[in-house]
Amino acid sequence: MTDIAPRAVTSGGRRRPGGGPRAGTVIAFLTPFFLPFVLFYLVPVGYALWQSFRVVRRTGGQYGTSYTTFGGFDQYTQVFQNSEFWNSIGRIGLFGIVQVPVMLFVALIMALLLDTPLLKLKAFFRITAFMPYAVPGVIAAIMWSYLYSPQLSPVVDLFQRIGLHPDFLGPGAVLWSAANVSTWLWTGYNMLIMYSALQSIPQELYEAAKIDGASNWTIAWRIKVPIIAPSIVLTTVFSIIGTLQLYAEPAVLRQISSNISSTFTPNMLAYAVASGNNYQQAAAISVVIAVITFVLSFGFMRLTSKKAGL
């Protein structure tokens, strides 16, 4: 350790005067990530954009050769005139408006309860809630589909014993059965994000409030919730993105329910259109989904940051 100074002198010439690394070194650190990032993120995004402005046309009648050419906003006009597209958006909108607040509310309540000194068995509750995060969406949907299926389900059995005959896969219920799978998967994850934020609040804040005579509920709603607002916003944005990307869960439920069409969610529609070899149309649908995701995520962040003054 005593030879720090001499070595510093001998190696001084290798660096820029500012003391930071040379440009070559910076590039060597960044390239391993940015090369695949450009190839597998930016290029596909650009390619999808380019494809979405192209159309397939034919020369002459039905038997003419086909070729792709620039089509302006033709593909987008078709997307917006497609009733299946609006149906899938409507479905996912309804799903999100109900599922996201319910899930986040339950997650928030759990996080607040875990944060009180009164609750016992904290580690157990934390782990059971978080465990579904380790389960892939496909597997979770398979598990739940067995619990929904009238032949196998012990849950349906229990309902029948008390005289109810729920049809989890029926036309009205199947959307909520899918919503339940998402809720099961992600409540614990969101709970843990909020709980981690709660744990970083200094305890002195509560003590001051207690001296002022605040109850546990007042402390929870007036102090804790506003402080962890940024993490609630974060979980909401993640949930919005997740909802718009919904694919695996409804695709699995579709295997056992005739009430889920191949165009049930926007992503399923994009895949169905791509399978029908209309890649340009599928690209336009993907771009629209991505734009909606951006607008909603940023819109929500803007809205909440203005309101809460964050």
Q: Which tokens go with 48?
A: 């999808």
CA distance 168 to 157: 12
Helix (H) or strand (E) run with residue 260 in it: none
Stretch binding other proteins (CB under 8 A), from 65-73, 167-175, 218-226, 228-236 = 228-236
Interacting positions 56-75 with other proteins (CB under 8 A)? none
CA distance 238 to 152: 34
Task: Report in angstroms how near the CB of residue 61 gets to other proteins at its nearest.
Answer: 28
Q: Which tokens go with 286?
A: 């993907």
Nearest to 76 by CA among 273, 276, 288, 278: 288
Nearer to other proteins, 175 or 268 (CB): 268
Helix (H) or strand (E) run with residue 7 in it: helix 4-11
Q: What are the helix (H) ranges across 200-278?
A: 204-211, 216-218, 225-227, 229-244, 248-254, 266-275
Nearer to other proteins, 98 or 230 (CB): 230
Nearer to other proteins, 119 or 205 (CB): 119
CA distance 132 to 163: 31
Interacting positions 76-105 with other proteins (CB under 8 A)? none
Interacting positions 247-266 with other proteins (CB under 8 A)? 247-248, 251-252, 255-256
Applying CB under 8 A, among 68, 77, 128, 215 the residue interacting with other proteins is: 128
Applying CB under 8 A, among 94, 119, 205, 308 the residue interacting with other proteins is: 119
Applying CB under 8 A, among 104, 112, 269, 283 the residue interacting with other proteins is: 283
CA distance 168 to 129: 23
Stretch binding other proteins (CB under 8 A), from 56-64, 66-74, 80-88, 114-122 = 114-122
Report if residue 218 touches other proteins, rule: CB under 8 A.
no
Give residue for tokens 């906003």.
Answer: 73
Interacting positions 138-167 with other proteins (CB under 8 A)? 138-140, 142-147, 151-155, 157
Q: Which phi and psi (to 5°) does residue 67 adopt?
A: -150, 155
Lay out the site mask for other proteins across 9-38 (x = CB under 8 A, - = otherwise): -xx---x--xxxx-x-xx-xxx-xxx-xx-
Stretch binding other proteins (CB under 8 A), from 42-50, 63-71, 166-174, 213-221 = 42-50
